[in-house]
């Protein structure tokens, strides 16, 4: 089931990053989502609000996976460093790409003007 969730994560990530909902995928294998109604946010709508909406959807889906299927990726070992703990949680979470996209969309635009923040964001990607 984890592999299905990972494939869904990649498919939705690719579909959201399209220019618009009317854009037809060029590669149906790597981008199989052709109906934009199944996406948690409209394709091409990359804003703070859509990032928050995406984060909310991911949380709902993750809770559902845990409740119904027993998939729980949030169980991580105790790690002393907060930064290491955040990275470990991000690596084992369901919908990793969508979660990282929502985090990036929710960054204030003013923060992206700072060179150190841009460097940190590009290293994490």
Residues 6+ apart with CB under 8 A from 21: 36, 39, 42, 43, 44
Helix axes 96-105, 48-64, angle to 10 degrees: 150
pLDDT of amino acid 55: 94
Total structural domains in the chain? 1
pLDDT in tens, the chain (125 residues): 888 888 889 888 888 888 776 676 666 666 677 777 888 998 888 899 999 999 999 999 989 888 888 776 544 444 455 555 544 454 457 899 999 999 999 988 888 788 888 788 776 65
- Please tell me the distance from the alpha carbon of residue 96 to that of residue 7, in angstroms, as a whole number: 11
Structural domain boundaries enclosing 81 = 2-124
CA proximity to 89, closest of 100, 110, 75: 75
């Amino acid at each position: 089931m984890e592999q299905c969730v990972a494939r869904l994560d990649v498919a939705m990530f690719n579909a959201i990053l399209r220019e618009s909902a009317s854009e037809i995928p060029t590669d149906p294998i790597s981008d199989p989502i052709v109906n934009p109604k199944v996406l948690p946010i409209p394709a091409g709508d990359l804003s703070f609000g859509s990032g928050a909406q995406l984060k909310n959807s991911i949380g709902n889906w993750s809770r559902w996976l845990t409740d119904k299927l027993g998939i729980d990726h949030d169980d991580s070992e105790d790690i002393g460093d907060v930064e290491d703990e955040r990275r470990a949680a991000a690596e084992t979470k369901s919908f990793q790409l969508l979660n990282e996209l929502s985090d990036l969309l929710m960054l204030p635009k003013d923060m992206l003007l700072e060179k150190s923040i841009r460097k940190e964001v590009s290293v994490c990607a």
